[in-house]
Amino acid sequence: MKEIRVLLVDDHPVVRAGLRAMLTAFEGISVAAEAADGDAALKELERLRILGDRVDVVLMDLQMGAGMDGVTATSRIRQLEGPPPVLILTTYDTDADILAAVEAGASGYMLKDAPPEQIHQAVLAAAAGQTALAPRVAALLMDRISNPAPSLTPREIQLLELLATGLSNRAIAKRVFISEATVKTHLVHIYGKLGVDNRTAAIAAATQRRIIRGPGTQG
């Protein structure tokens, strides 16, 4: 049986070391290379391709402090010729992350607190071209299918972002050159789509669903 060669992508050296130790403890798995962000991952893939080295699975973290984030890295990788399956291994099971990753072409989604054997199985499944979802993630996806995603208009998202900066309705109105009445109209629509009934809850909901970046979340 061929050995499965894995590319680790995570910005934490600690986690990379952990994955390396954990995976190499299993028979038939080796770590081809490591990368700290999406850019480095793509370069590593290119480098290994030139060397004629095989990469059977990319193990990717979604949250990365600097550099290309996991979702865009995933989609970039999937746009290569004969791309390796990308298995997401992340800390959070929050909503939009998962959808974004799946849309980007991820073939699996595991959580970091999973026991080693589960991660092992997921890597095997991914290498075999199958899909591997953590139970919690699977449940979340099912939930999301039943609950249709609210699609906000660009204008609504714009107002939502201004909202999150702490501006009042009047201030928002001045900022985008519309009347306060219009701002309120938009907000009502936004509340309806997000299933909330006040501005702070809207910010919380929108941030949670990654519709906007949280207040103060710069960079």
- Chain residues binding a copy of itself by CB under 8 A are 11-22, 65, 89, 91-92, 94, 112-116, 119, 163-168, 196, 198-210, 214-219
Q: How far apart are CA 137 and CA 143, in angstroms?
A: 10
From a copy of itself, DNA, none, which one binds at residue 217 (CB under 5 to 8 Å depending on kind)? a copy of itself
Would you say 8 and 19 are in contact if contact means Cβ atoms under 8 Å apart? yes
For residue 149, state whether it binds DNA (rule: CB under 7 A). Answer: no
Among 160, 187, 194, 211, binds DNA (CB under 7 A): 187
For residue 91, state whether it binds DNA (rule: CB under 7 A). Answer: no
* Closer residue to a copy of itself in complex, CB, 11/44: 11
For residue 185, state whether it binds DNA (rule: CB under 7 A). Answer: yes
Q: How far apart are CA 134 and CA 148, in angstroms?
A: 21
Helix ranges (H only) for the chain are 13-24, 38-51, 70-78, 96-103, 116-127, 135-146, 154-164, 169-176, 180-194, 199-208
Q: Is 112 exposed, middle or buried (0-12, 13-18, 19+ CB in 10 A)?
A: middle
Q: Shortest approach of DNA to residue 182 CB, angstroms? A: 4
Q: Can you give the binding site for DNA, defined by CB under 7 A?
A: 153-156, 168-170, 173, 176, 178-182, 184-188, 191, 197-199
